[in-house]
């Protein structure tokens, strides 16, 4: 998978959106990365739509008690066909890890993420 592949572009735009403090910038990034009807399987359950993902970012990611925090992609993007996975870390402002995990995404033919499955924490 090359760094300019649609999977990588969509994933990196999604991660950038999680780190964007400006709501307009966050919405622009999500519009470029996600389909309007994206299905998001996160730690709080299933939700549908870009707005639901944006609300999750605002409330859970940006609203964390240790804020300001940031998401970092920690692995390459592994993408067999339309599915991709990547590792991530959620870290405090000082760089120490608060949580890490692996996400799996499905990327449409147009290069937008239409499904996100979040696996947070270590698998023991």
The single residue listed with the structure tokens 């499905």 is: 106
**pLDDT, tens digit, for every residue of 6-51?**
899 999 999 999 999 999 999 999 999 999 999 999 888 899 999 9
The pTM score is: 0.91
């Amino acid at each position: 998978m090359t760094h300019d592949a649609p999977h990588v572009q969509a994933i990196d735009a999604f991660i950038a959106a999680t780190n964007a403090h400006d709501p307009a910038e966050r919405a622009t990034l999500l519009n470029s990365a996600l389909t309007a009807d994206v299905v998001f399987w996160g730690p709080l359950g299933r939700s549908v739509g870009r707005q639901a993902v944006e609300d999750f970012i605002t409330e859970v990611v940006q609203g964390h008690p240790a804020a300001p925090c940031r998401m970092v992609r920690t692995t390459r993007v592994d993408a067999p066909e339309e599915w991709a996975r990547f590792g991530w870390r959620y870290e405090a402002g000082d760089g120490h890890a608060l949580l890490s995990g692996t996400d799996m995404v499905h990327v449409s033919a147009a290069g937008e993420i239409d499904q996100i499955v979040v696996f947070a924490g270590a698998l023991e």
